[in-house]
């Protein structure tokens, strides 16, 4: 008889934007989901209740992704609820844009702490905890290739995450765990839209050959692919950007 035990995913930054779409997609695919949030408990609880009301299984966990103790506890709590973790998806991140010459160094320290140290801490816990046959999925950005001015510090953290991910894939040789990065293009989330005028948003929407902004569900589809059937894709960065150069 086939094993009907649901696979389990832990999604950081799971209460908003791309993270929320990832949680909803994995839950729809039959995953039990541990949904991490940093500050908005009400939003996370509402999403967990929505999933439960639809017949799924979800719990919420909190904490700073850059705090190793908090992330150890988050993995502990998901394991206690569902028996283990099969997929770790690290969508948590912040973005603050400014030319390098004008960039505030305190803001630089914050973006490095969340985007790079946070990815490292979550990846470290995932490398120790994810079960055989599982997947670790980090997040980068397509701006590592498009190189828009003003994105320097943000892109620096994400390029480092790509390198970390590729090396971790090789370090987990023999464990049957895939490690990949998703690099979204312009995607209609609050993180992306904040601070941009209509003209800038319109120009970015026209940049891909498909001539639109990505939607969070487009990115969630890529994550679901890497979390599920894509067992022969490993140590790669998947650009989910509608063909943006």
Per-10-residue mean pLDDT, the chain, length 245: 74 92 97 94 94 96 97 98 98 94 97 98 98 98 91 96 98 98 91 79 88 94 97 97 88
Smallest CA-to-CA distance from 130 within 78, 181, 81 is with 78
Catalytic residue (choose from 37, 103, 151, 154): 154
- CATH (residue range 8-239): 3.40.50.720
Extended strands (E) in the chain = 8-12, 32-37, 58-62, 87-90, 135-139, 178-184, 237-240
Question: Which residues fall within 8 angstroms of residue 118, CB to CB, at 6 or more apart?
Answer: 12, 64, 65, 66, 90, 92, 93
pLDDT of residue 2: 43
Is 154 designated active site?
yes
pLDDT of residue 4: 55
pLDDT of residue 198: 87
Q: Give me the phi and psi of 181, to 5 degrees please.
A: -125, 140
**pTM check: above 0.85:** yes
89 three-state secondary structure? strand
pLDDT of residue 194: 76
Smallest CA-to-CA distance from 132 within 85, 164, 170 is with 85
Cα separation, 132 vs 244, whole angstroms: 34
| Cα distances (angstroms) measured from residue 156 to each of 117, 159, 186 | 13, 5, 17
pLDDT of residue 15: 86
Helices (H), 172-244: 190-193, 198-206, 216-227
Question: Which residues fall within 8 angstroms of residue 1, CB to CB, at 6 or more apart?
Answer: none
Cα separation, 127 vs 131, whole angstroms: 9
| Dihedral angle of Cα 19, 7, 165, 233, to the nearest 10 degrees | -110
Question: Which residues fall within 8 angstroms of residue 113, CB to CB, at 6 or more apart?
Answer: 66
Strand arrangement, sheet containing 32-37: 58-62, 32-37, 8-12, 87-90, 135-139, 178-184, 237-240
């Amino acid at each position: 008889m086939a094993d009907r035990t649901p696979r389990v995913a832990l999604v950081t930054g799971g209460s908003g934007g791309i993270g929320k779409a990832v949680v909803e997609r994995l839950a729809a695919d039959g995953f039990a989901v541990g949904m991490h949030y940093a500050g908005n408990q009400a939003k996370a609880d509402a999403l967990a209740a929505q999933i439960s009301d639809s017949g799924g299984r979800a719990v919420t966990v909190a904490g700073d992704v850059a705090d190793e103790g908090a992330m150890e506890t988050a993995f502990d709590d998901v394991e206690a609820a569902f028996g283990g973790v099969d997929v770790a998806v690290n969508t948590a991140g912040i973005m603050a844009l400014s030319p390098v010459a004008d960039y505030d160094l305190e803001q630089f320290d914050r973006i490095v702490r969340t985007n790079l140290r946070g990815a490292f801490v979550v990846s470290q816990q995932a490398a120790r905890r994810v079960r055989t046959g599982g997947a670790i999925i980090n997040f980068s950005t397509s701006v590592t290739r498009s190189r828009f001015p003003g994105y320097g510090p943000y892109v620096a953290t994400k390029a480092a995450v790509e390198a970390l991910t590729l090396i971790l894939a090789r370090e987990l040789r023999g464990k049957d765990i895939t490690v990949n990065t998703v690099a979204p293009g312009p995607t209609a989330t609050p993180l992306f839209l904040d601070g941009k005028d209509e003209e800038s948003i319109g120009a970015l929407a026209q940049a891909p050959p498909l001539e639109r902004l990505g939607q969070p569900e487009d990115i969630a589809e890529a994550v679901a692919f890497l979390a599920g059937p894509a067992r022969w894709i490993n140590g790669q960065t998947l650009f989910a950007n509608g063909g943006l150069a």
